[in-house]
């Protein structure tokens, strides 16, 4: 009798737990069907005090859209890519900070100028609510890397930082810093949206290129190079890293030190449960 009562109690307990767990897993919302060539997700969009409110975004072949607040697939803000930005692969990124006082993050967009590779890279920073250009770099003799924003000199004001290469030979480069006039947040830390892998620069490259990425939390980071067959040919990083922005240079060699041939290569960064991969071109 004692064993029978224990079995009944155990079954009752399990049924109660299953009922409790089932009650926690209710579908809140489902989007409409999204074509496989369209990128969508959520990002930190609007700041309220020290907190960021998320919005859904959608990137297709022609435009970048921020949806209305809440679970909805209705656009509130839309930016249409130029032909140069479409050529660059519709590369639009959040800067993770408000530069014009409206409590909404600003975005930068990369563009490719020219008819054939190697293209000349440009960038501009926009206010997505109005599509107004806040800052732009596009000069015929220079290739510009993606910009980043932080208080580089600890003076309480945010700076915009990027690298400018001679184009088309990439023989020299210079670092440029612009004062934004925007007061930085405490501890000199910008709000990070997610793990981020930037496009390498220059691209195409010869003989070396720089790969930039952002780590949100302390964890092991693996940065590897693959050939077009998917074979790993170089491990650049396999180490525990603290949160921050990192730049790694690859000189076009394999793990054995041999020089690799011209062609398409892929670089991949793994950190925690996140993986990001991008394509690059080496020319000789």
Before 139, cis peptide (omega within 30)?
no
Measured CA to CA, the distance from residue 212 to residue 201 in angstroms comes to 9
Which residues face 163 on adjacent strands?
175
The residues, ordered by sequence, that sit 6+ positions from 219 with a Cβ below 8 Å of its Cβ are 240, 241, 271, 272
pLDDT for position 80: 97
Q: Which residues of the chain have pLDDT under 50?
A: 2-3, 5, 7-10, 186-194
| One-character DSSP codes across 196-224 | EEPPPBSSSBSS-EEEEEEESSSEEEEEE
Structure token pair of residue 24 = 């926690």
Of the candidates 219, 211, 217, 188, the one whose C-alpha atom is nearest the C-alpha of residue 268 is: 211
Span(s) in the chain for CATH 2.60.40.1930: 194-284
The span from the CA of 75 to the CA of 56, in Å, is 9
Task: Assess if CATH 3.40.190.290 describes domain 194-284.
Answer: no
Strands 157-166 and 173-183: antiparallel
pLDDT tens-digit map of 104-140? 999 999 899 988 777 898 999 999 999 999 999 999 9
The encoded tokens of residue 153 equal: 């000199």
- Residue 33 main-chain phi, psi, to 5 deg: -60, 130
47 has which bridge partners?
52
**What is the pLDDT, as a whole number, of residue 37?**
78
pLDDT computed for residue 274 by the predictor? 64
pLDDT (0 to 100) of residue 188:
37
């Amino acid at each position: 009798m004692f064993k029978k009562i224990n079995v009944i109690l155990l079954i009752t307990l399990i049924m109660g737990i299953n009922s409790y767990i089932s009650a926690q897993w209710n579908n809140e919302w489902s989007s409409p069907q999204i074509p496989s060539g369209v990128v969508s997700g959520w990002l930190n969009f609007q700041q309220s005090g020290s907190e960021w409110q998320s919005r859904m975004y959608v990137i297709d072949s022609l435009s970048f859209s921020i949806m209305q607040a809440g679970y909805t697939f209705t656009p509130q803000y839309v930016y249409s890519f130029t032909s140069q930005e479409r050529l660059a692969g519709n590369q639009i990124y959040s800067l993770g900070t408000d530069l014009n006082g409206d409590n909404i993050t600003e975005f930068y967009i990369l563009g490719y100028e020219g008819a054939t590779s190697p293209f000349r890279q440009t960038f501009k920073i926009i206010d997505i609510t109005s599509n107004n250009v806040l800052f732009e770099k596009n000069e015929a003799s220079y290739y510009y890397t993606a910009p980043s924003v932080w208080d580089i000199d600890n003076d309480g004001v945010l700076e915009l930082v990027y690298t400018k290469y001679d184009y088309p030979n990439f023989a020299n480069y210079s670092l440029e810093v612009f004062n934004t006039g925007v007061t930085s947040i405490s501890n000199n830390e910008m709000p990070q949206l997610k793990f981020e892998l930037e496009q390498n620069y220059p691209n195409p490259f010869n003989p070396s290129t720089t790969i930039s990425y952002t780590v949100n939390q302390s964890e092991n980071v693996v940065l590897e190079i693959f050939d077009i067959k998917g074979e790993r040919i170089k491990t650049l990083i396999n180490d525990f890293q603290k949160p921050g922005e990192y730049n790694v240079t690859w000189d076009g060699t394999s793990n054995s030190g041999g020089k690799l041939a011209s062609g398409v290569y892929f670089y991949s960064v793994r950190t925690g449960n996140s993986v990001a991969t991008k394509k690059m071109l080496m020319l000789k």
